[in-house]
Structure 1
Amino acid sequence: MSKQEKLYETLGELLYAVAMADGVIQSEESDAMKSLLKNHPWATTISWSFDYEVAKENKVEDVYKKAVSYCHSYGPTPEYEEFISAMEMIANAHEGTSNEEAEIVTGFSRDLIARFRRDLGIK
C-alpha cells in the first residue's frame, strides 16, 4: 500500500468518526458520503476504510486517534484541507453539526497544528 493510499484510508476513518460521533450514522450522512465519493479518485479506498470501521463497530475515539496518529507520521500535506471539508460536509448532513461532530472536525485541525508546530520547534 502506498503512503497516499494509506492517507486516503485515513480519510475514511475520519469520516466514520464524524458520522458516528453522535452514536449513529444517519441516512443523510450516508447520502453525503455517496455524493462526496461519486467521482473521487480514491473513492474505493475511502469507502473500504469507512465500511471496515462500521463493520467492526470500533469506538469513535479509537478510530480518531488512529487516524490522527497516521496523519502525524505522514506530515503536513495540502490534502488535509480536503479532509476537513469532507468532515464538515458529513457533519452538516443531518440537522447541522452536533457538538460531538464539531469537536472531531476542530480537534483534527488543532491536533495536527499542535503536533507540526512541536515538530518544527514553534511555540
Structure 2
Amino acid sequence: MGDHLVRAEEFEKKAEKKLNGWGIFGSKHEDAADLLEKAANSYKLAKSWDLAGKAYLKVADCHLKSDSKHDAANAYAEAAKCYKKVDTNGVDSHLDQTLGNDLLRNSELSSSPLDP
C-alpha cells in the first residue's frame, strides 16, 4: 500500500506543476486531469478513500476548466463512490450542491438523448 501512496503523491505533484506552468489552449488542464486521475486510482489501490475522493474533485475541477462537463460529472461520481466508503452522511449534501450548482443547471447533461 505504501508504494501506491507514494505513486499517488508523485502524480499529484506532476499535476500541480502542469497547472502552474504554461499550457496551450487548455491542454494543461487536460494533462493535469489525466495525472490526477492516475493519483486517484493509486489512492484507491491504497484504500485511501478520502484522498482518492479529493483527487477526483480536483479532476472534476480540471475538466470544468477545460469545458468537459461530461467528464467532470463522471469525476464527481467517482468522488462520491470514494467518499461513500468513508462518510455516507456528507456525500449526498456535498454532491447535490456541487452537481446542482456547477453542472445540471448550465449543462446539456440535464437533457440527455437517452431520456424517454
* Range of TM-score over shorter length: 0.3 to 0.5
Determine which structure has more spread, i.e. the larger CA radius of gyration: 2
